[in-house]
Amino acid sequence: MTPEVDGLDVVACEHCERLCASRSRIVNGVGPADADLLFVGEAPGANEDEAGEPFVGRSGDVLDDALRAAGLDRADVRITNCVRCRPPDNRDPRADELDNCRAFLDHEVDSVDPEVVVPLGKVPAEHLLGRDVAVTSEAGDVVEADIGETRRRVLISVHPAATLYDRSQADTFEHTIGRAADFTDGESGQARLGDF
């Protein structure tokens, strides 16, 4: 079956047999279609699978709090995942599943055209940058990567859940989200790419 897409939403897809069996629904990105900030998680968990929205569980609360501390609101940013269907037992998405969902993510990045893409955690960072990433030491770094049709700025971040079991990561996470907020001043992303 060919996937069915409506704008930035995947309406129907059966590419990944195992994920079709473990999901209740496809969890698409949320937030403005022209957001300055695009956060990219790994895959929906149980809460997201139930609600049909990325980052609504405890990780979502951590993200929302950090956004507020940086003077932003969840409604101001776009939030999506590398993989749109919940993996069984909340395991990491597999390479073939990341590959199967990649065209949808690339399309979302191209279309939203954010000032900066913020992968939340190791899986999305490595998926977007195409290399090993030591997120704890690289968090807060802005690097460049080809995503979709364009070279983009990517701000590396720890996963919000990391702050729940390691308080030292909370400062790192808040600092990173504060850095992300600096990119919301309305200048064109591509115009500013030369600043780095």
- Stretch of 4-12, 48-56, 101-109, 175-183 lying at the interface with ligand URA (CB under 6 A): 48-56
In terms of DSSP H, where are the helices of the chain? 17-22, 46-51, 58-69, 95-112, 122-129, 135-138, 162-165, 168-181, 189-192
Q: Which stretch binds ligand URA (CB under 6 A): 41-49, 107-115, 142-150, 164-172?
A: 41-49
Is residue 81 near ligand URA by the rule CB under 6 A? Answer: yes
Q: Toward ligand URA, which CB reaches closer, 60 or 114?
A: 60
- Identified binder of ligand URA from the candidate list 19, 30, 59, 133, rule CB under 6 A: 59
Contact by Cβ (8 Å): 19, 49: no
Given 44, 87, 93, 114, the residue binding ligand URA (CB under 6 A): 44
Does 55 sit near ligand URA (CB under 6 A)?
Answer: yes
d(CA 58, CA 69): 17
Q: Does 173 bind ligand URA (CB under 6 A)?
A: no
> In whole angstroms, what is the distance from residue 5 CA to residue 68 CA?
32
> Of 36, 42, 97, 108, which one interacts with ligand URA (CB under 6 A)?
42
Please state, in angstroms and rounded to a whole number, the distance separating the CA atoms of residues 103 and 148. Answer: 8
Closest CA to 172 of 195, 180, 77, 37: 180
Please choose, from the candidates 134, 111, 86, the residue with its C-alpha nearest in 3D space to the C-alpha of residue 6: 111
Instruction: Tell me which stretch binds ligand URA (CB under 6 A): 43-51, 69-77, 128-136, 137-145.
Output: 43-51
Under rule CB under 6 A, residue 169 binds ligand URA? no
Query: Interface with ligand URA by CB under 6 A: which residues?
Result: 41-45, 48, 54-55, 59, 81
